[in-house]
Structure 1
Amino acid sequence: MRITDIKQQKRNNNFYSVYIDGEYSFSVEKIDIINYNLHVGKVLDVEKYHEIIHNVCFKKCLNKAYRLLTYKARTKDQMFKKLSKAGYDDHVIKKVINKLEDLGYIDDKEFVKSYIDSRLNNKPMGKIRIKYELLSKGIKEETIDSILNSHNLSEYENAIKLIKKKIKGNYDIMEKKDELKIKRFLQRRGFNYEVINKAVKRVKDEERCKN
């Protein structure tokens, strides 16, 4: 295997693309080029090639992934995009993500569960909004639906809480014009029409009982 070209990457100047026998093979940093004495015309045996792939590409990518996980949990898709942007090769990234999944450091199902709990505790919203946000993080729709359907998510009660928080005890706000604004607010939070109408009716009924 002969190195036929070494090119600095345009999207990430810290990395260099190494071509073997006229085809792209792997990416390394400048320090790796020096350490392994990589240059055009150099012949790599199979053992040295795999050593570079494992010790340089895989380990560096894995360490980068570990650092990213110290900041916050990531989905598979988020991690892939982060590592790809950092200049690592797709096939190396996939191996790293598989390793992280085996270790339990990346788990899309657990991510969905934690995300739902966090959203409900900090900023209550409906299933539609939660699902949209999770889809934007690259999680498969069937994974989201499965967990949302099994989760004890009381959209109705959450919608009532949001209405009461919005009107701040002033039930006069529940007039026709303001009622429409509240419904639109709940819609933006991801509640469906059935839940919204039931919640609004419940709050209005409570108002009548007090009067």
Structure 2
Amino acid sequence: MSEIEKQIFKYSLRLLARRAYTIAEMHQKLLEKDWTDKDAVNKVLEKLIELGFLNDEKFAEEFIGSKLRLKPVGKRLLRQNLREKQVAEDIIKNVLEEIDEKELIEKSLQKRLRAKGQPKTIKELRNLQSYLISQGFDPELVYETIRKLSRSFEDYEQDF
């Protein structure tokens, strides 16, 4: 390993000690450092991948796990977050397949109901529906969940 590669490698390890990075994020971060030897940057990236320090699939799984531990959100929001982190679409698809969105929507709904109470008006039902959609849940699942929740669904449905 050349001297510049050692510097890049040490810098990469310092970054990884703070938080996990995707391959694309690390590449971008290293290029921002203005190292002139792009080949050295690429060699270091390959070494980090080989050693298991950079793994987009593992990153995506851990990222989703940490997001869902904090707050239940839908697949759409998770997909958007992973795209922002420059995770490949096939990895995103594989990781999201393992998620049961119905279970997440129920958790989110129960959490919201504990905080705000049972909706008593159509407006409150709509607000709850908007909230769930804004959390990245599939609108069809949200509609189905709200429909089950509403005792006076006939009134709610007529307003649509």
Shared fold per TM-score greater than 0.5: yes
The whole-number CA distance in structure 1 between the counterparts of 2:2 and 2:47 is 15
Q: Deviations over 1:19-52 (max 9, x none)?
A: xxxxxxxxxxxxxxxxxxxxxxxxxxxxxxxxxx
The whole-number CA distance in structure 2 between the counterparts of 1:68 and 1:174 is 50
| Matching residue within 129, 142, 145 for 1:196 | 142
**1:43 match:** none
**2:72 match:** 124
The whole-number CA distance in structure 1 between the counterparts of 2:149 and 2:63 is 28
The whole-number CA distance in structure 2 between the counterparts of 1:56 and 1:144 is 36
Would you say 1:137 and 2:85 are equivalent positions? yes
Checking the alignment, whether the CA contact within 8 Å between 1:163 and 1:200 is kept in structure 2 is: no
Higher helix proportion: 2
Checking the alignment, whether the CA contact within 8 Å between 2:61 and 2:95 is kept in structure 1 is: yes
TM-score (norm 2): 0.85
Structure 2 residue runs of 5 or longer lacking an equivalent are 152-160
1:72 Cα shift?
0.9
| Matching residue within 32, 46, 49 for 1:85 | 32
Larger radius of gyration: 1
- Matched residue type, 2:6: K
Checking the alignment, whether the CA contact within 8 Å between 2:77 and 2:136 is kept in structure 1 is: yes
User: Relative contact order (alpha carbons < 8 A, sep ≥ 6): 1 or 2 greater?
Assistant: 2
Q: Deviations over 1:31-84 (max 9, x none)?
A: xxxxxxxxxxxxxxxxxxxxxxx5332111111001101001110011111111
Amino-acid identity (%): 26
TM-score (norm 1): 0.66
Number of matched pairs: 149
Local SS of the residue matching 1:88: coil
**2:105 match:** 159
Checking the alignment, whether the CA contact within 8 Å between 2:79 and 2:92 is kept in structure 1 is: yes
1:203 Cα shift?
2.8
